[in-house]
Structure 1
Amino acid sequence: MNAEELLVKRAVSGDDQAFVKIMQLYKEELYKTALAYLKNGDEALEAIQEVTYRAYKSIHQVRDASYVKTWLIRIMINYCNDQLKKNKREVLGEELLQVQEISEDHSGLEIKDAMEDLDDRSREILTLKYFHDLKIKEIAASMQCPEGTVKTWLNKALKALKGRLEEKGGNQSV
């Protein structure tokens, strides 16, 4: 067992100084991860504070000392994804407005017809999101893929639908 693993074992046992040392060891990697997701230095520093708190609360759950770095990075990624979701609610609201604009400019029949031309995955995602009102998280669970992937697919599907409607109707204002 190496020195880091011994440190983790001490931290899991309740040694606060060992926990602080672990956070010192990985703070740079955690900061880089936060910066990559959040694209803002201040938000990345705030993320480190929050992740430190979350890790401290649940350090006793670490089962394998050799995976503590992965565990910390996973906490950081989850936190960053939560922050991005909060920040993107407005963007998702805009996407919904785009779909509403599409449906205002085209009849339901035109939309269904245009959706028939889309690939199966795009049709499925659009149907789940806008006709069944499922959240991204629920779609990701049902399709067994990451939420980020669903968001990418949804964005592509919306663009493709818009393109199909423009081709069929010649409406360039959408």
Structure 2
Amino acid sequence: MSTRDQIKKAKKGDEKAFQQLIQEEKNKLFRIAYLYVKNENDALDIVQETVYKAFISIKQLKEPNYFSTWLTRILINCALDFIRKNKNIIPFAEVEDTSEERQPIEEKLDLVEAIRKLENPYKTVIILRYYKDLTIKQIADLLNCPEGTVKTNIHRAISKLKLDLKEECIK
């Protein structure tokens, strides 16, 4: 059965069809959520919240061809909500870590860590462009903003990543 047929069945209330659609997307969803929160359990919570929201609002999906994009948009919103809610919480591991051991430079040069430090608009465009391989137009449609804004955000994010990674090399 094609994905389009599964989406149509899911929109009509077929839970099994919806479950199969989620099975196909779950790994991508987890990877994106993990890039936002850098914690496996939190990423799983975000994916679970995304699946729930998608399930209760599947009937609102207008174009079946954009199911993956629609689902990604829900995930991004859930991740950003999660980050906002937990902004002032300091993980216990960070409070406890008072060791003065230095990490080797190779461990500091972590692109994922540098992406995690980016502000949300920049983090979002980098993830969508380079992890989901979306075009500038697709990202603009997904985020409901002009293509120029997406290009600017990508350029600024890359500049910031270069600067951050360069600073890490100098330390």
Q: Of the two, which has the highest radius of gyration? A: 1
> Equivalent residue for 1:86?
85
> Equivalent residue for 1:44?
43
Matched to 1:29, the amino acid is K
1:110-149 aligned at under 5 Å gives the runs none
Q: CA deviation at 1:48?
A: 1.2
Cα shift readout 1:114-134 (whole Å, capped 9, x = no counterpart):
xxxxxxxxxxxxxxxxxxxxx
Aligned residues: 98
Q: Distance in 1 between matches of 2:89 and 2:13?
A: 41
Q: Distance in 1 between matches of 2:67 and 2:89?
A: 35
Cα shift readout 1:60-110 (whole Å, capped 9, x = no counterpart):
00111110000001000000001111122569xxxxxxxxxxxxxxxxxxx
Cα shift readout 1:128-156 (whole Å, capped 9, x = no counterpart):
xxxxxxxxxxxxxxxxx79xx7xx9xxxx
Q: Is there any run of 5+ residues in structure 1 with no aligned partner, and where?
A: 92-144, 153-174
> Equivalent residue for 2:54?
55
Matched to 2:14, the amino acid is D
Q: Is there any run of 5+ residues in structure 2 with no aligned partner, and where?
A: 91-148, 157-171
Higher relative contact order (CA 8 A, sep 6+): 2
> Equivalent residue for 2:22?
23
Cα shift readout 1:17-60 (whole Å, capped 9, x = no counterpart):
00000110100010011001111111011111111110110000
Structure 2 SS opposite 1:88: coil
Identify the structure with the greater helix proportion: 1
> Equivalent residue for 2:63?
64
Which 4+ runs in 1 deviate beyond 6 A? none
Task: Output the TM-score relative to the length of structure 1.
Answer: 0.50
Q: CA RMSD in A?
A: 2.8
Q: Distance in 2 between matches of 1:82 and 1:30?
A: 16
- Percent identity for Structure 1 against Structure 2: 36
Q: Distance in 1 between matches of 2:46 and 2:79?
A: 7
> Equivalent residue for 1:113?
none
Task: Provide closer, same or farther for how the CA distance between residues 90 and 45 of structure 1 changes in structure 2, counting only shifts above 3 A.
Answer: closer
Q: Tell me whether 2-11 or 77-86 shows the greater mean CA deviation.
A: 2-11
Q: Distance in 2 between matches of 1:18 and 1:62?
A: 15
